Amino acid sequence: MPPYRPEPRASTVVRAAKPTMGSVPLEGPRRAGRGAPWTGRFRRLMSEGGPDAEYDAEQGGAVVEFIFLGVLLLIPVVYLVLTVGQLQGGSFAVVGAADQAAKVFVDAPTTEEAHARARAAALLTLSDFDFAEEQASIDITCDAECLAPGSSVQVVVRLDVPLPLLPELLGSNPSAATVDAVAVQIVERFG
């Protein structure tokens, strides 16, 4: 049974002469014998447990929601950033590998040595970016006779960029994308 509370009495408002300064009153209306109008509401709220009594049941709920939503949204965003970083690293790797391979190819004395040096230079550049030899393919073509003065050499490097943080599953490495780059060098005429 709820505690007994008497019915509130109707109060009469007593209006006294208000001192004014221009058109702004200096004092508001007062209820006779009861204090300011908000004191009754304040007493009632405090007797019921305070203004936050209805929120005590949900105390700590915001922390749980923040952690749950933070994990739910943060993990995919972080993985997306890692994947984009991996793709950017792969793009830099193939551009550098193709460029270095083409430069090394045109400076070699023989065609066989040029192919070996160009392949080694491309693989070294890819390994600097932590990509394996199995992930890349290197194609070298000449427009005429290789290493003839004035001829051009084209090097194409393709790289399967793996998804980050995923191990090889039964021999297959899932690829995020394949990036490639092309570099062309001309053999010097008077080299």
User: Can you give the residue ranges of every domain in the chain?
Assistant: 61-186
Name the pTM for this structure: 0.64
Q: Are 86 and 162 within 8 A, CB to CB? A: yes
Tens digit of pLDDT for each residue in 84-110? 999 999 999 999 999 999 999 999 999
Rg (CA), the chain: 40
117-145 in b/e form (b: 16+ CB < 10 A) is bbbebbbebbeebebeeebbebebebeee
Say how far apart CA 147 and CA 152 lie, in whole Å. 8
pLDDT for 167 = 75
- What are phi and psi for residue 28, nearest 5 degrees? -90, 175
Unique residue bearing structure tokens 């221009």: 22
